[in-house]
Every structure is written in structure tokens, then in C-alpha cells.
Amino acid sequence: MPKHTSTRAGTPSRLVPSPQPAEKDQLDRSLEISEYGRPQIVGLRATGGIDLRSHMHWDHALRLVAGHGEEVHLDLSDLEFIDSRGAAVLVEAASHLTGGRRIVVHHAPSCFQRVMEVLWPEGVPAIMIEQAI
């Protein structure tokens, strides 16, 4: 709907078109994290996107599961987007694992794989990215 605006007092107002609303998927990349696992397997499933608005939530979830089990499994099959900071949060969580423990990433989206290849071309010892066959 157009808005009426006036640039100076006493001048007639003119119609200015309202900006078009952005596409829903450009605005709504909310992150949902759920736990899954069985005895000896601790895992998280991430759905949506990991970006500036969800870094704290992602970091908190990784810290919680990193303290349990020999391996932490991440199912990223429904992850639509992860930015470089989101990947760095994962690398940081992995760097705190001790005793040969690791994070196993399942169904990594291509955006995650690209970020990892560019920023950590030699890989991260405590992160195993499962490759699709």
C-alpha cells in the first residue's frame, strides 16, 4: 500500500510506493535442533539455517552434547544453510573434545562442505564428514 510523504512543511504530499515484502525464505531461516540417539550414540539433527540469528543456539546445543558419548553425530540432511561462523562454532566445539573423541557429520549440505574446504582445507582431526557414496 502506498504511503503519503511530504519533504517540507507546506508542500503537498506525494505517493511513495511501499517496499515489497521480502520472500519468506529470505527472512525465515530459523534453526531447529533436536536430539536423537541410542545408547552410546549422542546426536543432534539441525533443520533450517545457521546464521547470525542462530549462532548462540547452535553453540549452546553443541556444547551440551559434546560432553556426552564417544562420538557426537550431527544429522544435517535438513540444513538449508550454514554460514562461515556457524562452521567455526562447530570447529571450536570439536577442538575441545579430548581422548580421541570426534564429531561425525552425516548428510552435510554442499554449503557446509564448501565452507569447510575453503577455511579448513586440511580438514579438522576431530570432525569426520561422512561422504555420500
Which pLDDT value is given to residue 27? 40
Q: How many CB atoms are located within 10 Å of the residue 99 CB?
A: 5
| pTM of the full structure | 0.74
Task: Provide the 8-state DSSP code for 30.
Answer: -
Bridge partners of 105? 74, 129
Which pLDDT value is given to residue 13? 37
And the C-alpha cell for 30? 530459523
Q: How many CB atoms are located within 10 Å of the residue 106 CB?
A: 15
Question: What domains appear along the chain, each with residue ranges and CATH number?
Answer: 29-129 (3.30.750.24)
Which pLDDT value is given to residue 29? 52
pLDDT in tens, the chain (133 residues): 444 433 444 444 343 333 343 343 444 458 999 988 776 778 999 999 999 999 999 999 999 888 777 789 999 999 999 999 999 999 999 999 988 899 999 999 999 999 999 999 999 999 999 976 5
**C-alpha span between 126 and 118 (Å, rounded):** 17
Query: Could you tell me if 46 and 17 are in contact, meaning their C-beta atoms sit under 8 angstroms apart?
Result: no
Which pLDDT value is given to residue 102? 93
**C-alpha span between 44 and 85 (Å, rounded):** 18
